[in-house]
Amino acid sequence: MNDLIALLSAQGAVVVFLATAATRLGAPVPAAPFLVVAGGLAAGGQLSFGVVLLAAVLGNIVGDGAWFLAGRRWGYRVMRFLCRISLSADTCVRRSESILGRWGGLSLIAAKFVPGVSVVAPPMAGALGMSNTRFIAYETLAALIWSLGFLGLGAMFHAAIQDVLAVMSSVGLTATVVGALLLAVFVGWRYRARRIARRGEDIEHIEVSALREALDAGRRLTVVDLRSVETRLIDERVLPGAVGITYGQLADRLTELQAARELVVFCDCPNDETAIAAARLLNQAGLPRVRVLAGGIAAWVAADALASAPAPLADVAAHPA
């Protein structure tokens, strides 16, 4: 711990920049504690507050800017990837869509303080076509607010922080082991909660082929696309005839949905989690037969691609025109 204090005292701005950029890129690096400690050291005259603040802001811009450009280049696929590897994958999708849909550019500020969304907000802003100038303006403001908050906290309680660091220095390995154990328990709990959320034994599913046959046969069923408006704008994949209703809108549109004899809901989320939650909600509301499209929009598009793929040469030779 003394080595860390010495490093921050000697290279505070560099350490803060690297830790902040790594956090914004999605690495498991806790930037906030670095900023709090740096703020305390700055209050004690060991660091320049202005230089450390500039380093934190630049770290935010570099990290978030990389994801912004990735979103501009690869669109919604970047966010699906980020949310898929999150411990709270389904919550990541819902929160990011909700925050960005409601607040627009200001969502870049709100996202800084919402775990699981801070990394997703910049690529979504890029995918939605936010201009570079507007992104830099909002990102700089968000970075200033976020950085000043933690640096100011450290400066305000710098005397107490020094005492805490002294205790941590004496504890050393014990604190590290305890912290690692607590982290392992947290990860295990989140993993178990996610596994429970994935279970959909009580929900009826329908395969893409069965849904396609039902639609071709003209059966009276309503297909509900649970993706947000923002997602549907930047994701070119569609299921023809589907009605766009987000999970949060279902309760307000129950009367409309009750007119359908059959309902099929789908999402673009890990393990159909949002669709399963929606089906449970609709079942509890007493709606007619509700099923989840297995695999969601990804499975539908994959089936389309498979059906339109050219026949293998062996099949062509076996069945000449």
pLDDT digits 0-9 by tens, 242-278? 999 988 889 889 888 888 888 999 988 767 888 898 9
Q: Which of 176, 161, 172, 171 is nearest to 36 (CA)?
A: 161
- The answer to whether residues 238 and 159 belong to one domain is no
Q: Same structural domain for residues 129 and 13?
A: yes
Tell whether 165 is covered by a domain: yes
Task: Tell me how many domains the chain contains.
Answer: 2
Q: What is the CB neighbour count within 10 angstroms for residue 49?
A: 18
First-to-final CA distance of the chain: 77
Residue pair 52/168 in contact (Cβ under 8 Å)? The answer is no
186 and 87 housed in the same domain? yes
Q: Are residues 133 and 11 in the same domain?
A: yes
Tens-digit pLDDT profile for residues 131-184: 899 899 999 999 999 999 989 888 887 766 656 555 544 544 454 556 556 656
- The pTM (predicted TM-score) of the whole model is 0.58
Range of the domain at 70: 2-197
Task: For residues 155 and 238, state if they share a domain.
Answer: no
Regarding whether 249 and 220 lie in a shared domain, the answer is yes
Query: Could you tell me if 181 and 116 lie in one domain?
Result: yes
- pLDDT for the residue numbered 199: 53
Domain closes at, from 180, 197, 214: 197
Distance CA 120, CA 185 (A): 25
Q: Is residue 319 one of the residues assigned to a domain?
A: no
Looking at the structure, tell me whether residues 40 and 154 fall in a common domain.
yes
* pLDDT at residue 233 in the model: 76
180 shares its domain with 125 = yes
Burial string for 289-304 (b: 16+ CB within 10 Å, else e) reads ebbbbbbbbbbbbebe
In a domain, 178, yes or no: yes
In a domain, 234, yes or no: yes
Q: Is residue 218 part of a domain?
A: yes
On whether the CB atoms of residues 246 and 277 are closer than 8 A, the answer is no
| Confidence at residue 208, expressed as pLDDT on a 0 to 100 scale | 93
CA dist 97 and 247 (Å) reads 11
Same-domain status, 40 and 99 = yes
Angle between helices 158-171 and 132-156 (to 10 degrees): 80
Residue 25 lies in a domain: yes
Q: What is the CATH number of the domain that holds 211?
A: 3.40.250.10
- Residue 175's pLDDT is what? 47
Asked which of 182, 197, 212 is the last residue of a domain, the reply is: 197
Q: Are residues 95 and 226 in the same domain?
A: no
Using the 3D structure, point to which of 150, 175, 197 is the last residue of a domain.
197
315 in a structural domain: no
Q: Which residues of the chain have pLDDT under 70?
A: 1-10, 76, 79-80, 82-105, 114-117, 159-202, 270, 305-321
321 is a domain residue: no
> Measured between alpha carbons, how far is 296 from 2 in angstroms, rounded to an integer?
52
User: Other CB atoms closer than 10 Å to residue 265's CB: what's the count?
Assistant: 31
Q: Do 232 and 304 belong to one domain?
A: yes
